[in-house]
Structure formats: structure tokens, C-alpha cells
């Protein structure tokens, strides 16, 4: 079971936990249960016990809501680029719902045993701290994050705004947490929390607008307006970047099959399609390949930038179009990966160890056919960075009309 599937299973298990516990405790609850408290733990209002279902359903509502949002978001492909962090936030919200349900049930049976107001403020502070840590990883979408006309207009503005917004959210959450744990300096904590709250609502918006104005001055806005007329294929071609930092989230096997299919539909000399692809998803095999290349290249510590997958593209030894065919296939796969929200980077080092007996023997164990050699390869994974496009060199095009 992958790390992501375990987290998904945990989310759904915890989302029904509150409902199960409530169903067990319901017949024993008093006819009226506490539902509202002030910060000092004083009950402000009681309600009929059937209201407990409103609280008990919060965790399930969070689980369903955060599952549906990526499906209906016009930018749903971007969620794959931060799904690991998105699921972490979902898990935190589900756990918060479970805790609130437990508090109400506990206070119904043994009132006054929990400082409810303090606990709720503490949970809110911790959630804000988690959000602050996750915000820099969130990619452009219409539901989660700091969404305004300027952040939605440019991925660069989005990333820059969420980096500064994440710091502010973390500071605000830290202030609220300190306030909940150490209410001995209420005036100071009130002041700092108030300033941080204003900063959360104002600073990211002002900063995103400032970034937008800076781009206007640099002429980037005109470039963006031109981009709006580009086809999805053209945008994918121009937005793909080489990624050299990855999260530990494993792409699904289904996504990898789509990527390889794109490679299989690349052009090849005389349409011979003599290539062979080896897709390495096993972390132990991946590490062994890194070790072998490091040994043969004299580069101890050689690595694939932390990517969880590598795709080797091989062709018949001595074939006239071997490199050209594999290069075309690799480019197809890299573009397909980018379209699916994944990052890639061309890896050349297998070409440098052609003819090495140890490397060839190991590749044969992995299923590389006899008489084939790796021409090129690409690593694949969820990117942990969003590199900017280097400037294109001038003078590289000649038009003959």
C-alpha cells in the first residue's frame, strides 16, 4: 500500500469515526447537551441531544467536500502537483471534526472536565500553523489558497504570494496557539494576534497586486495576453521545465502507463518502433541504478534528484535512428508528464556507461532485451519546485521566405 493510499484510507476511516462513536453514545446522552462555550469554558447554550449529529457529521462533510473539490475545479490537473499536501490538510480538518465531537460527548457526560474554549482556540491555531506550512506547496486552483485576480492570472504571482502568505498564516497560528496555552499575557497576545489577523487578510492581497504591477512594468502582461490565445498543446510545450527536486509522492501506475503510451506514439525512422521502455517504480532498484552509475562515473553520491520513478528508453545497438527515435519518444513522455501535473528531467548518464558489463547485466535482469542499449532516460515525479523558464538565446532562427 502506498503512502498516499494509506493516508486516503485514514481520512475515510476517521471521517466515519465520529458518526460511529455518536451512534454508540446517543442513547446514553442527556436530553440536553452543551453546544456553545466562551473562552473561559462557561457553557453559553444547551441544545437538544439530536443536535450532536451536526457536530458528528463535520468530519464526514470535510472528507467528502475536499474529495469533490479537485474533481470540479477547472484547474483540477494542478491538484496532482500538491495532492500529498492537500490530503494532509484534509486529514487535519477531519481530525479536528473528530475532536470537536469527542469534546461535546465528553462534556455531556462529565461537564467541566475540559477547557473547551481554550481547546477550540488551540485547534484553530494549530490548523493555521499547518496551513502556513502547506500554502507554499499549493498550486493555482479556484478553491484552496489565496485566490484573487492577480494570483489566478499568473502562476509566478500565485507562488510568490503563497510563500509570503504561508509565513503570515504560520505566525498567526503560532500567536493563537500561544494565546491558548499561555493566557497570562492576554493583552500582548490579543495585540499580536490582531496584527497577524490583519496581515493575513491584507498583506497577501497587496503583495499579489504589487507583483502584478511589477510584471506590467516588465512587459510580462503583454506576454500573458498573447499566451491566452495559445492552444493547450502550445501552452504545454512552452511551460514544461526540467525539474531537479521532487516530493516523495509516488505517481500512480495508471499515470505512468499514459506517459509511456505517449512515448510509443512518437515518430520513429520508417515507423520501425524498435525502442523498448523500462519503467522503474521500485525504490530499491532505483537506488541500485544510482549506485551503479555513481561507481562507473566516479561520482559517489550520484542520484536522480529524489525522483521516485525513472523511465529508460532503449533501442537496438547500432541502429541508425536509435538516438533520434528514443529522443522523440522521450520528449513525448516528458510533455505528457507535464500535462498530467508531473515533473521530469532528462538523464544522460546511461549513455556514458554504454558497454559496461556490470550495468548491462543489471539492466538485463530488469527486462532490457538482449542487444539493446539505453539511449536516454527521464526521471518522473511530483515536483517540489517550479523553476522559471530560462531566456531563449537570440539569433537561433533563420527564416527563408
| Same domain flag for 265 and 126 | no
| Same domain flag for 222 and 252 | no
pLDDT band, residue 223 (cuts 50/70/90): low
Does a structural domain hold residue 389? no
**Total count of domains within the chain:** 2
Listed range (32-41, 47-56, 224-233) with the worst mean pLDDT: 224-233
Give pLDDT, residue 400.
95
3-state secondary structure of 246: strand
Handedness of CA 262, 263, 267, 271 (dihedral sign): negative
Give pLDDT, residue 384.
84
* Residues 131, 123: Cα–Cα separation, whole Å: 12
Please write the tens of the pLDDT for every residue from 155-193.
888 988 999 999 988 988 888 888 777 765 556 666 766
Compute how many other C-beta atoms are within 10 angstroms of the C-beta atom of residue 76: 15
| 240 to 80, 93, 275, 280: CA distances (angstroms) | 15, 33, 24, 22
Please write the tens of the pLDDT for every residue from 14-36.
999 999 999 999 889 898 888 87
For the cut 70, the answer to whether the pLDDT of residue 4 exceeds it is no
* Residues 128, 93: Cα–Cα separation, whole Å: 11
Listed range (153-167, 269-283, 365-379) with the worst mean pLDDT: 153-167
| Same domain flag for 200 and 273 | no
| Same domain flag for 129 and 59 | yes
Q: Contact 373/314 with Cβ under 8 angstroms?
A: yes
For the cut 90, the answer to whether the pLDDT of residue 394 exceeds it is no
Mean pLDDT, range 330-340, rounded to an integer? 95
Give φ, ψ of 141 to 5 degrees.
Answer: -155, 175
Give pLDDT, residue 270.
92
CA-closest candidate to residue 207, choices 255, 167, 157? 157
Domain boundary among 227, 260, 285: 227
Does a structural domain hold residue 188? yes
| Same domain flag for 194 and 54 | yes
Does a structural domain hold residue 240? no
Mean pLDDT, range 198-221, rounded to an integer? 80
pLDDT band, residue 49 (cuts 50/70/90): confident
Give pLDDT, residue 238.
85
| Same domain flag for 261 and 350 | yes
| Same domain flag for 201 and 68 | yes
Does a structural domain hold residue 120? yes
| Same domain flag for 201 and 261 | no
Domain boundary among 201, 227, 253: 227
The mean predicted confidence, pLDDT, of the chain is: 87
Mean pLDDT, range 347-373, rounded to an integer? 91
Does a structural domain hold residue 396? no
Give pLDDT, residue 194.
72
Give pLDDT, residue 155.
82
Can you tell me which residue has the cell 490579543? 190
| Same domain flag for 33 and 118 | yes
Compute how many other C-beta atoms are within 10 angstroms of the C-beta atom of residue 327: 16
Q: How far is CA 309 from the centre of its chain?
A: 17
pLDDT band, residue 120 (cuts 50/70/90): confident
Mean pLDDT, range 90-98, rounded to an integer? 93
* Residues 399, 401: Cα–Cα separation, whole Å: 6
Does a structural domain hold residue 238? no
Mean pLDDT, range 50-59, rounded to an integer? 91
For the cut 90, the answer to whether the pLDDT of residue 345 exceeds it is yes
For the cut 80, the answer to whether the pLDDT of residue 1 exceeds it is no
pLDDT band, residue 286 (cuts 50/70/90): very high
| Same domain flag for 265 and 178 | no
Give pLDDT, residue 222.
46
Does a structural domain hold residue 42? yes
Listed range (72-81, 140-149, 286-295, 365-374) with the worst mean pLDDT: 72-81
| Same domain flag for 204 and 303 | no
- What's the CATH code of the domain at 268? 3.40.109.10
Does a structural domain hold residue 394? no
Residue percentage of the chain with pLDDT more than 90: 50
For the cut 80, the answer to whether the pLDDT of residue 37 exceeds it is no
Which domain, by its residues, includes 277?
A: 245-381
For the cut 60, the answer to whether the pLDDT of residue 290 exceeds it is yes
Q: Residue 375 is placed in which grid cell?
A: 539511449
Q: Contact 20/53 with Cβ under 8 angstroms?
A: no
For the cut 50, the answer to whether the pLDDT of residue 67 exceeds it is yes
| Same domain flag for 222 and 251 | no
Amino acid at each position: 500500500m502506498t503512502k498516499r493510499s494509506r493516508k486516503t484510507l485514514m481520512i475515510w476511516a476517521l471521517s466515519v469515526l465520529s458518526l460511529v462513536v455518536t451512534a454508540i453514545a446517543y442513547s446514553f446522552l442527556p436530553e440536553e447537551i452543551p453546544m456553545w462555550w466562551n473562552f473561559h469554558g462557561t457553557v453559553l447554550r444547551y441544545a437538544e441531544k439530536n443536535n450532536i449529529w451536526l457536530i458528528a457529521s463535520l468530519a464526514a462533510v470535510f472528507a467528502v467536500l475536499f474529495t469533490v473539490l479537485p474533481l470540479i475545479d477547472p484547474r483540477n490537473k494542478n491538484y496532482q502537483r500538491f495532492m500529498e499536501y492537500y490530503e494532509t490538510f484534509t486529514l487535519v480538518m477531519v481530525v479536528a471534526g473528530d475532536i470537536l465531537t469527542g469534546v461535546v460527548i465528553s462534556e455531556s457526560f462529565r461537564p467541566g472536565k475540559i477547557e473547551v474554549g481554550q481547546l477550540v482556540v488551540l485547534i484553530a491555531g494549530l490548523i493555521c500553523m499547518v496551513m502556513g506550512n502547506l500554502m507554499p506547496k499549493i498550486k493555482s486552483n479556484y478553491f484552496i489558497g489565496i485566490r484573487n485576480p492577480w494570483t489566478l492570472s499568473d502562476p509566478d504571482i500565485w507562488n510568490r504570494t503563497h510563500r509570503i502568505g504561508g509565513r503570515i498564516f504560520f505566525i498567526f497560528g503560532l500567536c493563537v496557539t500561544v494565546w491558548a496555552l499561555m493566557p497570562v499575557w492576554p493583552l500582548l497576545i490579543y495585540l499580536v494576534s490582531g496584527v497577524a489577523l490583519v496581515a493575513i487578510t491584507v498583506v497577501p492581497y497587496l503583495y499579489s497586486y504589487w507583483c502584478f504591477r511589477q510584471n506590467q512594468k516588465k512587459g510580462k502582461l503583454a506576454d500573458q495576453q498573447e499566451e491566452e490565445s495559445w492552444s493547450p498543446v502550445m501552452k504545454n510545450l512552452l511551460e514544461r521545465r526540467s525539474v531537479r527536486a521532487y516530493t516523495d509522492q509516488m505517481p500512480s501506475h495508471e499515470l505512468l502507463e499514459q506517459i509511456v503510451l505517449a512515448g510509443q506514439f512518437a515518430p520513429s525512422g520508417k515507423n520501425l518502433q524498435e525502442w523498448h521502455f523500462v519503467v522503474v517504480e521500485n525504490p530499491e532498484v532505483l537506488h541500485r541504478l544510482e549506485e551503479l552509475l555513481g561507481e562507473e562515473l566516479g561520482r559517489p553520491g550520484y542520484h536522480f534528484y529524489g525522483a521516485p520513478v525513472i523511465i529508460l528508453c532503449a533501442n537496438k545497438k547500432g541502429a541508425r535512428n536509435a538516438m533520434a527515435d528514443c529522443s522523440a519518444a522521450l520528449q513525448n513522455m516528458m510533455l505528457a508528464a507535464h500535462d498530467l501535473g508531473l515533473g521530469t528531467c532528462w538523464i544522460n548518464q546511461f549513455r556514458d556507461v554504454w558497454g559496461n558489463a556490470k550495468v548491462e547485466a543489471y539492466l538485463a535482469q530488469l527486462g532490457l532485451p538482449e542487444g539493446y542499449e539505453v539511449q536516454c532516460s527521464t526521471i518522473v515525479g511530483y515536483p517540489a519546485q517550479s523553476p522559471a523558464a530560462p531566456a531563449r538565446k537570440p539569433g537561433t532562427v533563420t527564416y527563408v521566405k
